[in-house]
Amino acid sequence: MPFQRLRLLIAYDGRPFRGWQSQASRDAVQDHLERAFLKLCGMPIVVHGSGRTDAGVHAHGQVAHADVPPKRLPPSAWAAALNAHLPAEIRVLRVRHVSADFHARLNARRKIYTYRIWNAPCLHPLELGRAWLVPGELDVQIMRAAASMLTGTHDFAAFAANRRQPPGETVRTIYQIRIVRRGPLITLRYDGSGFLYKMVRLLTGSLVRCGQGRASPEWLGALLARADARKTSFAAPADGLYLVRVLY
């Protein structure tokens, strides 16, 4: 059957959902999108995302593609039509036609994530589910020094939650980790070629450990130096993590 490939730009509040990838319980972001397409197209449509996000992780700029019957709707109408069948916490921001060789995951070349830390005695109520409360003192300068150890191309096996990945498949490039403090809010911006399962959360947890004075930047360097090193287990919670942008 002929089809038209759509590229979708999607934002969502991750709190109510079981992550991006379809679940048996049918309450993941992908499941909601596929139900919306079913209502509009009258047939099952598979939505392919640029990558998975865990339960509780948010997105400003998730990218996905889907193959739909041709001339069903003009590009300008797809976003509104899908949003009419989606929960308020999921919004399709933009839809456009792309060629049949575009693939949201396989063609992705770079991803940008941010992680938000609320460094104060208590969490502001409007930050609930959107930032990680770290009440003790954090040395941002130490965190920046530790982050500099992580940039470049490395084997990030020590920062991968999946322990069964074959050797060599855990190599990634981080182009930049930018850490900015504005009052109690500390934002970490990760720009990389790709990220392993829970990698950003494990990197963030480890950087916070350095900022607390409980580990040194050299400790991170030692983890990177040995692909068979013991994995770090200091994972930041999902609440503060956002997929910001996917570049192709």
Q: What is the pLDDT of residues 27-67, one digit of tens each?
A: 999 999 999 999 999 999 999 999 999 999 999 999 999 99
Confidence band, pLDDT 50/70/90 cuts, at residue 167:
low
| Burial zone of 94 (CB within 10 Å; 0-12 exposed, 13-18 middle, 19+ buried) | middle
pLDDT one-digit tens code per residue, 200-223: 999 999 999 999 999 999 988 888
Give me the pLDDT at residue 160, please: 87
pLDDT at 221: 87
How does pLDDT run across 85-130, given as a tens digit for each residue? 999 999 999 999 999 999 999 999 999 999 999 999 999 999 999 9
| Mean confidence (pLDDT) of the chain | 94
* CATH 3.30.70.660 segments of the chain: 110-247
The rounded Cα 86 to chain-centroid distance in angstroms is: 20
Amino acid letter for position 159: F
Asked if pLDDT for residue 68 goes beyond 90, the answer is yes
What pTM value is reported for the model?
0.93
**Backbone φ and ψ of 112, nearest 5°:** -125, 125
Known catalytic residues are 54
Question: Residue 140: CA atoms inside 13 Å, Cβ hemisphere, count?
Answer: 15
Q: What is the pLDDT of residue 229?
A: 61
110-247 is a CATH 3.40.50.800 domain: no
State the DSSP code for 179: E
Residue ranges matching CATH 3.30.70.580 in the chain: 4-98
pLDDT over 80 at 8, yes or no = yes
Flag whether pLDDT at 227 surpasses 70. no
CATH of domain 4-98: 3.30.70.580
State how beta strands 132-133 and 110-118 pair. parallel
